[in-house]
Structure 1
Amino acid sequence: MKQDLTIRALTRKAHNLWDRYVDSHQHGSFFHLTGWIHVIQDVFGHQPHYLFAQQGEQIVGVLPLFEQKSLLFGHALISTPFCVYGGALADQDDIRRELENAAYDLACDLNVDYIELRDSHEHPCESPWFRHCHHATFKNTLALPAEDLLSGIKRKQRAVIRHAQKNNLSWDAKDNPALCFELYAESVRNLGTPVFPPALFQTLKDTFGSSCETLVVRDVQGQPVSGVLSFYYKNQVLPYYGGGTQAARDLKSNDFMYYQLMLIAKERGAELFDFGRSKINSGAYHYKKHWGMEEQPLHYRMALVRAKRPPNLSPNNPKYRYFIRAWQNLPMGLSKQIGPMLSKYLG
């Protein structure tokens, strides 16, 4: 370790310094920002353990961490739950390693089952870390005019979008987190997944302001059929929580929505469309591949502390099969009551 390097726990007065560091770091992502402390602690009740490296008066590295503790799903330290990217950012590799060593020591002190780093870019695997990623993300450069943007999409998906454009769909990008959440909640219930607390979408909007926007698509009768909550950061747009009603499939309104979001984002100055992570070979994974975007594996790492083997919280795990089928048949109201008690540990 460099002689004057210290690893410290983040305090409230250093939030602005942390965020400025993330803004300036080439790998700094939206999910490294301190706003997530408020979102995850207030909505899900998980304890933050943010660490930063300091030399003199300067921050030279950051590592956001949250502790999740559940009798059903285990005890973990994660960077960062409910987020695609996380892990350490640092000026140099030796500083990053010191942050990761401090995080592992913290995991041991907390006696967790494991610690997971959702690195935003690839790092070498050194003991006690090992690769633990079964997800990919998809990215696409945004082009104008609109026809150039459309021509960058695979031919079959272009046909789907053109079909959707004939369905008299309308859209608006007014701030409407509550409506967007309702559409998302119905969608995830239909997939057999517990929904997040309703407060999540409004809290994200309140926390991140103009960097968080919703887009809602309506059918010819004016009924909402699809919605997505997106983040804007640096030169990117990240559609993060999207879904639709049963009618969305026939109307192709989700396809219409994501294409419209590309147009809106480009007008806002975004240059990159980050479609988010999906489990490899899942339905969402294949849907995104149809758009012809660049697939990038996610370089997550893990270290075991108390656990003897890595956890398997995937919906493809056979032990969750009957639970998923039962959940798909729950009334919407009941799924929204029970879901938040489970989903808080599935980030």
Structure 2
Amino acid sequence: MYQINTLALDDPKRSAWDAFVDQHQDGTFFHLCGWQLVLQQSMGHPTYYLYATEHDEIVGVLPLAWVKSKLFGNALVSTPFCVYGGAVGAPEVRRALEQKAVEIGRELGVDHVELRYRDPQDNDWLTRSQHATFGCELAEDDAAILAGIKKNQRALIRKALQTEMSWHLDSDNQDFYAIYSESLRNLGTPVFSKQLIDALQQVFPTQTEILTIRNGHEAVSSVFNFYYKNQVLPYYGGGKPSARELKSNDLMYYQLMCHAKKDKNCTFYDFGRSKLDSGAYSYKKHWGMQHQLLHYQFKLINATELSNLSPNNPKYQLFIKMWQKLPLAVSRWLGPKLAHYLG
């Protein structure tokens, strides 16, 4: 039988945890144990990072965090603020870790346990597939990367390349956070605290990077990226209102693809998840990338049905319209107090 353990922040097994994630084909950047520190210190969420051992060797991991709110529910999630999660290991190890997660969920009195798997699982959990993830292999050079993008999207990029806009790598996150928080306000979505970005840069200094497009001296588009296993994942991105006319977002993602291939030796571009039939989903389809349906799984504990926190839920439409009208300073102050629970 496997022994199930809980990882502590000073646990000597932390390096073995990451080594296991590095070596396993299902291990993602979001399974790395550094996220435990990020979630606890920047967001204040209790964590339950489970690992299974056999003969004192790690054979499976399951990162979990407890997100509890009177407004948005009470859940044990793998993993909040991350697009991928769930247990990693052989099928029988995953089932053992899932069972332990259910036991912890019952002890905590959560509404449900949520595991954000990429692929279907052979278990009795409820599966909800409302998101798809997009991606593509990175071609050999800038010209080949551009040629691989769908015709209409390629035309927008070419138009942007003819301007004097330039791209830059920023170590300071001030411009990024200003652009991203304004972009989310305009979408009617609360932004998380800047502390989350600070923590990610501190915990993953070599695996995070900010790429910014400037029109003259003005930063107009910016994206916060993760690098892992020869893949680049543009995770948090946005543009100023002028970005649509300038096509600076299109230029930003293209320049990121070229930079990741040429300077980071990346072979795959992970364009991240989008909700089916959303604006972001349509935008990514225009790039011509392959997409994969995600299989998020749930085990109801105290809830009798799953809640619907989607922005497409009609009951949130008034909130979204009101949020879009907030002054930026107010949205940046109030947003983190809500986004803290919208992982």
- Normalising to structure 1: TM-score of the pair? 0.96
> Structure 2: 5+ residue runs without aligned partners?
none
Report the AA paired with residue 7 of structure 1: I
Offset from partner CA, 1:266-324 (integer Å, 9 cap, x none) = 01100000011100000000000000000100111111111111110100011100000
Counterpart residue number, 1:38 = 37
Counterpart residue number, 1:230 = 225
2: CA distance, partners of 1:291 / 1:170: 21
Counterpart residue number, 2:104 = 106
1: CA distance, partners of 2:109 / 2:84: 24
2: CA distance, partners of 1:311 / 1:271: 38
> Structure 1: 5+ residue runs without aligned partners?
none
Counterpart residue number, 1:257 = 252
| Partner SS for 2:259 | helix
1: CA distance, partners of 2:145 / 2:190: 35
Counterpart residue number, 2:207 = 211
Contact 1:178–1:202 (Cα < 8 Å) also in 2: no
Residue 299 in structure 1 maps to residue 295 in structure 2 = yes
Cα displacement (A) at 1:122? 2.4
Counterpart residue number, 2:317 = 321
Q: Structure 2 residue aligned with 1:333, among 329, 334, 337?
A: 329
Q: CA RMSD in A?
A: 0.9
Counterpart residue number, 2:6 = 9
2: CA distance, partners of 1:193 / 1:235: 31
Q: Structure 1 residue aligned with 2:143, among 147, 156, 169?
A: 147
Cα displacement (A) at 1:245? 0.5
Output aligned runs, 1:74-113, within 5 Å: 74-90=73-89, 92-113=90-111
1: CA distance, partners of 2:152 / 2:97: 46
Contact 2:156–2:247 (Cα < 8 Å) also in 1: yes
Cα displacement (A) at 1:68? 0.5
2: CA distance, partners of 1:206 / 1:135: 29
Counterpart residue number, 2:114 = 116
Counterpart residue number, 2:278 = 282
Counterpart residue number, 1:240 = 235
* Runs (4+) off by over 6 Å: none
Offset from partner CA, 1:5-32 (integer Å, 9 cap, x none) = 2111112222111111101111110000
Offset from partner CA, 1:27-84 (integer Å, 9 cap, x none) = 1100000111111111211110111101111001000000000000010000000001
Report the AA paired with residue 292 of structure 2: Q
1: CA distance, partners of 2:163 / 2:319: 36
Cα displacement (A) at 1:147? 1.3
- How many aligned positions are there? 340
Cα displacement (A) at 1:165? 1.1
| Partner SS for 2:206 | helix
1: CA distance, partners of 2:239 / 2:154: 20
Cα displacement (A) at 1:178? 2.1
| Partner SS for 1:292 | coil
2: CA distance, partners of 1:332 / 1:166: 32
Contact 2:141–2:261 (Cα < 8 Å) also in 1: no
- Normalising to structure 2: TM-score of the pair? 0.98
Cα displacement (A) at 1:174? 2.9
Report the AA paired with residue 225 of structure 1: V
| Partner SS for 2:174 | helix
Cα displacement (A) at 1:176? 2.3
Q: 20-29 vs 166-175, which deviates more?
A: 166-175
Contact 2:51–2:59 (Cα < 8 Å) also in 1: yes
| Partner SS for 2:307 | coil
